[in-house]
């Protein structure tokens, strides 16, 4: 380990370096070699490594495989963090796993790196994981990419395999990635050639060794130089006035400075800035602070305090690049939680513009995303969010996607900017609303949503409900899967992605008809709980009644009024709900109807009774 004597200049700049690439391409070995050949291995670590010598070669990869499972399997699972220094620079090293199943961990490491060492086995060439890791590095703003062509000893130190591999990489990514700097260096991590010291066995290589190159990499711009951003984490009343707690994400803030409050757009001066030890004149990136404003304003968690000169953007529609972690596929229009800093909003990926083909690096069309796939997407949110483009300011330029049912983190993304159409749309303010229309119709509007398997009796019950309401002079409309799929939704198939879009369109149509003052009776299989919840959230709480028509599958197959089960069981229909496609039963429906023990008319009266109980009809 390098020590510094009194008066000796210490290295000032810190470079965070990620190692990534396919499994067995030598990431942990490379980092171990860096430590070994720079004298950064402690004596007790050296003794442990020497005890595992096989032949004449020390297994330096064991330094970076910290988990027992990693050492047993010879792979990297978790991200390993280490530091070492040379007379010129301090290095913070992040060793990311190469296996596809640990892509989430690799993405976490990339988000904190300024430079990346993308290792490739010179014999194997560019593989899907190489492409995936390069794309993730680009996604999370890694500025310097070094293609480390490893295991040159296994091709007898030949120049041509190295040149071919570099040319192949450039061809796959030309015009598709935006690293500030790209370079390629041939090495042998096992023998140490060209890692710390120049190799005598590759006289054709005229460039620097890997370590020498890293010492010359220009440091990334610090967040302190960026525009001021502080997401509000907590609001507390102290000594009779409101105080706003948070961590400075970027930039600098000073007492007396006038700042912008988003999303409200209000401007106010800062009365005091306090740190852990009391009042301070200014705070900068990374500082945990408490702000007191000159005016008492109703800020809340998720609001953002920014500089006036360079404020963030507020909108509900953004363009983003996403890496998907979830085991279940990402389906456009499905509602998720999106977290940006301390902001939490519901939102949906409304369109997948393209995904990256991990075999070729090409941009290809996609209707959904599978686990570990990367895509360019359009995203909309239910409420206005405060954001920056990731390349301008990562503090508000990145987000995670959370499943609303399990609360698992299923994706991560970076924001490229606001969708151009988003700033041109405004909510209309009509003089006649649904409440005035309800007065004219002498009843309140509502959505009655019947869900259940095909053949459960939904349509029959819905028809009886409409008859009863018509007889009571109520204004209704009945929406059924068959009539909508013959018109509005005739372009949709029965894949999971199209089923989601089917229900989204129906939900929006139902909302418009509810605004017209109608009682909207909907009869749809609607197999996914997330989409039924999405429709419920489109309208007011008392306006939505979820009715689970609960009929056992064997009874539905026995009834089979349209002959669909027979065709599906014969293999003539793919993706048939209940057989080859899942149906998620409602967990908290407003009504559960048993069609085995009751007839359709009595069950229709149960629904009308619920409408009366809620005061929707007299």
The full 3-state SS of 41-85, as one line of letters, equals CCHHHHHHHHHCCECCECCHHHHCCCCHHHHHHCCCCCCEEEEEE
Q: Is 27 annotated as a binding residue?
A: no
Residues 64 and 128 in one domain: yes
Of the chain, the percentage scoring pLDDT greater than 70 comes to 90
What is the pLDDT confidence band of residue 60, given thresholds at 50, 70 and 90?
A: low
Residues 277 and 255 in one domain: yes
pLDDT score at 23: 83
Q: In what order do the strands lie in the sheet with 591-594?
A: 476-480, 519-523, 446-451, 544-550, 591-594
User: ω before 100 within 30° of 0 (cis)?
Assistant: no
Residues 391 and 451 in one domain: no
Give the dihedral of Cα atoms 514, 519, 524, 527; nearest 10 deg: 60
pLDDT score at 64: 58
Q: Does 618 reside within a domain?
A: no
Is the pLDDT at 565 greater than 90? The verdict is yes
CA distance 610 to 595: 17
Q: Does 292 reside within a domain?
A: yes
Q: Does 6 reside within a domain?
A: no
- pLDDT single digits (tens) 313-359: 999 999 999 999 999 999 898 999 999 999 999 999 999 999 988 77
Is the pLDDT at 7 greater than 60? The verdict is no
Is the pLDDT at 6 greater than 80? The verdict is no
Q: Is 452 annotated as a binding residue?
A: yes
CB 31 within 8 A of CB 64: yes
pLDDT score at 10: 47
Residues 294 and 317 in one domain: no
Q: Does 392 reside within a domain?
A: yes
Residues 271 and 385 in one domain: no
Residue among 185, 178, 183, 180 nearest 218 (CA): 180
What is the pLDDT confidence band of residue 4, given thresholds at 50, 70 and 90?
A: very low
The residues, any chain, with a CB within 8 Å of residue 130's CB and separated by 6 or more, are: 21, 22, 118, 120, 169
Beta-ladder partners of 147: 118, 184
Q: Is 458 annotated as a binding residue?
A: yes
Q: Does 69 reside within a domain?
A: yes
What is the pLDDT confidence band of residue 363, given thresholds at 50, 70 and 90?
A: confident
Using the CB atoms, write b or e for 422-453: b if 16+ within 10 Å. beeeeeeeeeeebeebbeebebbbbbbbbbbb
Q: Is 454 annotated as a binding residue?
A: yes
Is the pLDDT at 3 greater than 60? The verdict is no
Comparing 245 with 360, which gets the higher pLDDT? 245
What average pLDDT is seen over the chain? 87
SS3 state at 233: coil
Is the pLDDT at 68 greater than 50? The verdict is no
Which of the listed residues 278, 307, 336 is the one where a domain comes to its end?
307
Q: Give the DSSP letter string of 400-435.
A: EEE-TTT--EEEEEEEEEE-GGGGG------SS-HH
* Range of 122-136, 221-235, 485-499 with top mean pLDDT: 122-136
Residues 501 and 377 in one domain: no
Residue among 21, 23, 3, 20 nearest 11 (CA): 3
Which of the listed residues 195, 216, 237 is the one where a domain comes to its end?
216
Residue 472 maps to which CATH number? 3.40.50.300
Token representation of residue 237: 């009343």
Residues 565 and 465 in one domain: yes
pLDDT score at 221: 62
Which of the listed residues 307, 340, 364 is the one where a domain comes to its end?
307
Q: Does 5 reside within a domain?
A: no
Q: Is 457 annotated as a binding residue?
A: yes
The residues, any chain, with a CB within 8 Å of residue 534's CB and separated by 6 or more, are: 334, 335, 503, 504, 507
Residues 503 and 602 in one domain: yes
Is the pLDDT at 66 greater than 70? The verdict is no
Q: Is 345 annotated as a binding residue?
A: no
Find the range with the poorest average confidence among 169-183, 512-526, 562-576, 587-601: 169-183
Number of folded domains in the chain? 4
Residues 50 and 130 in one domain: yes
Q: Does 117 reside within a domain?
A: yes
Q: Is 453 annotated as a binding residue?
A: yes
CA distance 330 to 406: 15
Residues 54 and 199 in one domain: yes
Residue 236 maps to which CATH number? 2.40.30.10
Q: Does 492 reside within a domain?
A: yes
Q: Which residue segment(s) compose the domain that 190 sits in?
A: 14-216
List the catalytic residue out of 22, 114, 389, 526. Answer: 526
Beta strands in 163-257 (DSSP E): 181-186, 229-231, 234-238, 241-247, 252-254
> Does residue 188 have an active-site annotation?
no
Residues 382 and 261 in one domain: no
Residues 210 and 274 in one domain: no
Q: Once rounded to an integer, what is the mean pLDDT over residues 510-529?
A: 94
């Amino acid at each position: 380990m390098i020590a510094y004597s009194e008066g000796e200049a210490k290295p000032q700049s810190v470079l965070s370096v990620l190692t990534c690439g396919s499994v067995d391409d030598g990431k942990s070995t490379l980092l171990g070699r860096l430590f070994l050949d720079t004298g950064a291995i402690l004596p007790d670590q050296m003794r442990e490594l020497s005890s595992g010598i096989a032949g004449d070669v020390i297994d330096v990869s064991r330094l970076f495989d910290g988990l027992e499972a990693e050492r047993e399997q010879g792979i990297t699972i978790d991200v390993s963090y280490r530091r070492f220094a040379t007379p010129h620079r301090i290095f913070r090293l992040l060793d990311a796993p190469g296996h596809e199943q640990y892509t989430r961990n690799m993405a976490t490491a990339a988000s904190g790196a300024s430079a990346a060492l993308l290792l490739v086995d010179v014999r194997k060439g560019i593989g899907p994981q190489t492409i995936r890791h390069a794309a993730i590095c680009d996604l999370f703003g890694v500025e310097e990419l070094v293609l480390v062509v490893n295991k040159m000893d296994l091709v007898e130190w030949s120049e041509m395999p190295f040149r071919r591999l570099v040319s192949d990489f450039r061809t796959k990514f030309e015009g598709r990635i935006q690293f500030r700097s790209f370079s390629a260096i041939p090495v042998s991590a096992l023998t140490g050639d060209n890692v710390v010291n120049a190799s005598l066995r590759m006289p054709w290589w005229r460039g620097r060794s890997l370590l020498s190159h890293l010492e010359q990499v220009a440091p990334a711009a610090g967040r302190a130089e960026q525009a001021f951003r502080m997401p509000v984490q907590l609001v507390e009343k102290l000594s009779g006035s409101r105080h706003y707690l948070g961590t400075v994400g970027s930039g600098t803030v000073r007492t007396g400075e006038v700042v912008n409050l988003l999303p409200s757009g209000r401007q106010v001066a800062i009365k005091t800035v306090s740190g852990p030890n009391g009042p301070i004149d200014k705070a900068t990136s990374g500082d945990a602070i408490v702000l007191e404003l000159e005016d008492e304003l109703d800020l809340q968690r998720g609001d953002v305090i920014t500089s006036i000169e360079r404020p963030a953007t507020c909108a509900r529609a953004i363009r983003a690049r996403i890496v998907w972690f979830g085991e279940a596929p990402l389906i456009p229009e499905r509602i998720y939680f999106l977290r940006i800093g301390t902001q939490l909003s519901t939102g949906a990926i409304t369109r997948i513009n393209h995904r990256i083909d991990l075999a070729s690096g090409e941009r290809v069309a996609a209707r959904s995303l599978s686990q570990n796939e990367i895509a360019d997407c359009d995203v909309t949110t239910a409420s206005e969010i405060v954001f920056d483009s990731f390349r301008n300011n990562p503090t508000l330029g990145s987000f995670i996607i959370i499943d609303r049912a399990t609360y698992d983190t299923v994706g991560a993304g970076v924001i490229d900017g606001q969708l151009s159409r988003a700033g041109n749309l405004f909510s209309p303010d009509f003089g006649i609303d649904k409440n005035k229309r309800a007065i004219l119709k002498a009843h309140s509007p509502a959505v009655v949503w019947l869900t259940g398997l095909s053949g459960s009796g939904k349509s029959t019950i819905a028809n009886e409900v409409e008859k009863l309401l018509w007889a009571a002079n109520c204004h209704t409309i009945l929406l059924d899967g068959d009539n909508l799929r013959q018109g509005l939704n005739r372009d949709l198939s029965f894949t999971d992605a199209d089923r989601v879009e089917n229900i989204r369109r129906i939900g929006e149509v139902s909302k418009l008809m509810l605004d017209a003052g109608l009682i909207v009776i909907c009869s749809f299989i609607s197999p996914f709980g997330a989409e039924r919840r999405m429709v419920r959230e489109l309208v007011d709480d008392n306006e939505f009644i979820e009715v689970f028509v609960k009929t056992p599958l064997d009874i539905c197959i026995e009834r089979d009024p349209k002959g669909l089960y027979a065709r599906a069981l014969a293999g003539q229909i793919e993706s048939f709900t209940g057989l080859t496609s899942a149906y998620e039963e409602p967990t908290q429906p407003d009504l559960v109807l048993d069609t085995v023990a009751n007839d359709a008319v009595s069950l229709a009266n149960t629904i009308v009774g619920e409408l009366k109980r809620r005061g929707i009809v007299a």
